[in-house]
Copies of this chain bind each other. A is one copy, B any other.
Amino acid sequence: MNKVVLGADQAISDIEDGAVIMLGGFGLCGIPENCIAALVRKKVKHLTCISNNAGVDDFGIGLMLQQRQVKKMISSYVGENAEFERQLLSGELEVELIPQGTLATRCLAAGYGMPAIYTPAGVGTEVAAGKEVRTFNGKEFLMEMAFNADFAIVKAWRGDTQGNLIFRATSRNFNPLMAMAGKLTIAEVEELVPVGELDPDHIHTPGIYVHRIFKGSNYEKRIEQRTTRIR
């Protein structure tokens, strides 16, 4: 049983046109840079991408948008991205906007085998259109369905050869949730260690959820809003 693959190209080799893929990350923080680059190289098209954001024009999922590889984005915030805007307005790109907590919890539901969850987010708004509204203890909730994605692609800080993952700081975000939610989960890691090197109490994603893992390279880890203070 070997989950370790050589690199991003091998890891994503069976992602075909029309696939539904989840991509971890919040903004540009914790995104699977290597796999995104490989998807661009593979020129796979008509993808449905579930990711909190859509990258920026020249980085992250923005690179896939530039190559017109994305048919539909399912996100909570698509931010400043001129190419995204152009494709959306021209009708080339379909966008489904869903509340961030709903996005996260629909991943959790998939990873925990729960077909649907109830959340108050979006009650009384256009997000509720066509959805079941149900009252519990006098408060209204929307029923939201678990995601059903062919692939999940996540980025972790450290991983071992059994696919156990540890994330770092706020680059954790959606990564462990999507790792659980994908039918097939690919993890790229900054550091790939032999099995037994990660403390079993510190692992965020158990390897049972991870099917392929590789050590990524040349991480750019671009910063979207560089804010600092004076010493």
Contact = CB atoms under 8 A, between A and B. Distances in A.
A59 interface: no
A225 B1 CA distance: 33
Contact of A117 (B117, B120, B172): B117
Number of copies: 2
Interface in A167-195: 167-169, 172
Interface size grouping (class) on chain A:
20 to 34
B115 A201 contact: no
A102 to B, nearest CB: 11
Interface in A137-159: 137, 139, 141, 145
Contacts of A167: 201
Contact of A169 (B115, B136, B201): B201
Given A202-B201, A202-B202, A141 B168 contact: no
Contacts of A118: 114-116
B168 A201 contact: yes
A146 to B, nearest CB: 8
Contacts of A200: 169
A32 to B, nearest CB: 19
A20 to B, nearest CB: 16
A219 interface: no
B166 A201 contact: yes
A100 interface: no
A87 interface: no
A119 interface: yes
A105 interface: yes
A112 B105 CA distance: 9
Give 3 nearest A-B pairs by CB, closest first. Answer: A115-B136, A202-B202, A115-B118
Given A113-B120, A167-B201, 13 more contacts: A105-B112, A114-B117, A114-B119, A115-B136, A115-B137, A115-B139, A116-B118, A117-B117, A136-B145, A166-B201, A169-B200, A169-B201, A201-B202
7 contacts: A113-B119, A115-B118, A115-B137, A115-B139, A116-B118, A166-B201, A169-B201
